[in-house]
A and B are shown apart, each in its own frame.
Chain A
Amino acid sequence: MIRKILIANRGEIAVRIIRACKELGIKTAAIYSEADIGSLHTILADESYLIGSAPSSQSYLNKEKIIQLAKEINADAIHPGYGFLSENSDFIKMVEESGIKFIGPSSKSVEMMGSKTAARSLMQKHKVPIVPGTTEPIKTVSEGLSFADEIGFPVLIKASAGGGGKGMRKVFSKDEFDSAFESTKREALKAFGNDDVYIEKLIENPKHIEVQIIADEFGNYRHLFERECSIQRRHQKIIEESPSAFLDDLTRKAITEAAVNAAKACNYFNAGTIEFLMDKDKKFYFLEMNTRLQVEHPVTELVTGIDLVREQIMIASGEKISFEQKDIQQNGVAIECRVYAEDSSQGFLPSTGKLKLYKEPSGPNVRVDSGVMVNSEITVHYDPMISKLICWGKNRDEVISRSLRALDEYYIGGVSTNISFLKFILNRKEFRESSHNINSVEQKFLKEFEEQTQNISDNENEIAAAILSAYLKSKVKQKVTSDIYITNKWRDLLYE
């Protein structure tokens, strides 16, 4: 029986896990870095512990310290959330050896799926379709080039240890290969501490379809149907939905079966996701397995009614899965929009600063998962995601209208956000028809969005900013006028 869980994460996912624990009557212990003093997850948890300084390597990635703390405070289990240590098989092994329960799969399963090349050959063995390409890391440029020639350009160079969209490059011709190879290696080394890369054929304009699976330690496997996450920018998902409007029942049956087979191939237990690429003929290819809870898990929760985090904890406690496959149906449609602190007018640079204003949407069938409140700080140290909006509707049109309505209800001040871009995407014809693919954002929507922003001559928000500035200036002036040393203010007016 689990009585206390240490949550080795921060932000919205830490809050999400605390919620599940509280509903189960389990005590929660949060950890936080110096940058996260007083943040929401530390307030909501029963106990919270300062773990180190702001850089992740000193805090949320400090394996020894986290395990040591868990022992000291008598935590029975550790939930890793997503990112950070969630897919770090060394960490999981250390937790297993410490006698503390890891809420997630075994270190062995994670290791099997952690190397993208090893996972590809495992899938091939278990008859799960994979994208044509190498199943071994590529050592040299010339080796890579000759292989790329064999399968034909365009190809993708990917980090073996990669994930979450980091460490991959598209290469369309021979001349680009060299620099793409080097920069992928560089990025891989920096992000994952391992510069192994491999090559895959680029499936042109596919959709990203993934299947949520869950398994217990008694060999019971279930799937919770698919999610579509084709709306991505630089491989970072922005909008996700379930079900996918692109799938028919036959394809759905085939892809969910393949996902369960993939999970079985690595003796998986707990929650996991198998990601696939699907081409226009609905042929699908294994991309990778995420051996953890995912950012977009709420859309599955809303259409199936299953609390995935609760299920994860129960499975880690040694229980069986709480439901039968036949009991699970997809009810309605759910869409998640990720609200990022980004400046869409500055090439989507992360926007840092204090959330001087923060109000979340609400109303029927709206769920918001976030880890911030007023005066929370968006820093350079962590992911710039502020909040996730997850809406449910009877059908896709309804949920799109609801999402647009709810996005309008966010009032976030202090940083720029991508909300206007999210709304722009939800209004695209391609998105409404679900004819979009994983390249639509970068090849089409971004350009159209920029054009639209430039063509608005009467930007109401801009006018509001202009008026408020003048107003504030008028207030300052009145104050200064009463001061004696006003005369030499001219120098200050010479801005750069």
Chain B
Amino acid sequence: MNDFVSKIDDKKYSIKFLDESRLVLNEIEYNYSIKLLSSDNFILTLNNRTFICTVVENKNSNFEIVVNGELHKVISHSLISYKAEELLKSKNQSHSSGMTVKAPMPGLILKIKKQNGDYVERGETVMILEAMKMENEIRAPISGTVTFNSIKEGTSVEKNIKLFEIR
């Protein structure tokens, strides 16, 4: 019941909470403590290190946590539901390992640099979104084949509108 799996990008962290002060992370035991500092801010100690973490999003199993100015998107499941999900994924390959990229802010699609079906490397610029008076590069979070839905150059998008998918 105290086993969890947290995924960040393609990295997997297995976490088992032994009790209120000990946990096992990827088979190594640590001392820890977690204290609520103020709403959404937590102080986490891990052996002799202390972190201040801010929870920006906490929905179902999706977390967005800022630590030292870095935003980490984490998907966290209990070990049981993680295994169940892996099972579902293997049965339904077409729904697996894709990634949807959404507009990080409202803006105007200035340029689309790739075409439907193009293979893109992780970190490659896929499109340019003009927002905050700046031209911002939207990059591929993973390598794969890119699919644009209804997005065209010159369209304005709201925050969180799907821009493209990579499989």
Chain A residues close to B by CB (< 8 Å) = 166, 187, 190-191, 234, 343, 345-347, 349-353, 356-357, 380-384, 410-420, 450, 459-474, 477, 489-490, 492-496
Q: How many residues of B contact A (CB 8 A)?
A: 68
Chain B residues close to A by CB (< 8 Å) = 2, 4-6, 8, 11, 13, 15, 17, 23, 25, 32, 34, 37-42, 44, 46, 49, 51-56, 58, 60-63, 65-72, 74-78, 81, 84-85, 88, 95, 98, 100, 104-107, 123, 125, 131-139
Q: Which residue of A lies closest to B122 (CB)?
A: A454
How far apart sit A214 and B98, CA to CA, in the bound complex (Å)? Answer: 58
Cβ contact within 8 Å between A357 and B139: no
Cβ contact within 8 Å between A470 and B6: yes
A-B complex: 6 closest residue pairs judged by Cβ atoms = A413-B54, A417-B69, A465-B72, A470-B4, A466-B6, A469-B76
How far apart sit A495 and B42, CA to CA, in the bound complex (Å)? Answer: 26
- The contact sample of 20 A-B pairs, CB cut-off 8 A, is A346-B139, A347-B125, A347-B136, A350-B131, A411-B52, A413-B41, A413-B52, A413-B53, A416-B66, A419-B69, A420-B68, A460-B49, A465-B72, A467-B13, A468-B53, A468-B63, A469-B6, A470-B4, A495-B62, A495-B75
Cβ contact of A416, chosen from B4, B23, B71, cutoff 8 A: B71
How far apart sit A5 and B85, CA to CA, in the bound complex (Å)? Answer: 62
Cβ contact of A464, chosen from B46, B95, B98, cutoff 8 A: B46
How far apart sit A496 and B37, CA to CA, in the bound complex (Å)? Answer: 32
Cβ contact within 8 Å between A380 and B4: no
Cβ contact within 8 Å between A346 and B41: no
- Residues in B neighbouring A413, C-beta threshold 8 A: 40-41, 52-54, 56, 66
How far apart sit A489 and B32, CA to CA, in the bound complex (Å)? Answer: 30
The interface centre, meaning the residue of B63, B125, B137 with most chain A CB atoms within 10 A of its CB, is: B63
Cβ contact within 8 Å between A356 and B54: yes
CB distance from A164 to the nearest CB of B (A): 10
- Residues in A neighbouring B70, C-beta threshold 8 A: 345, 416, 420, 459, 461-462
- Residues in A neighbouring B77, C-beta threshold 8 A: 473, 493
How far apart sit A410 and B66, CA to CA, in the bound complex (Å)? Answer: 13
Given known pairs A350-B134, A415-B66, A493-B77, the reply for A468 and B56 (CB within 8 Å) is no
Cβ contact within 8 Å between A191 and B133: yes
Cβ contact within 8 Å between A465 and B75: no
Cβ contact within 8 Å between A493 and B67: no
How far apart sit A462 and B73, CA to CA, in the bound complex (Å)? Answer: 9
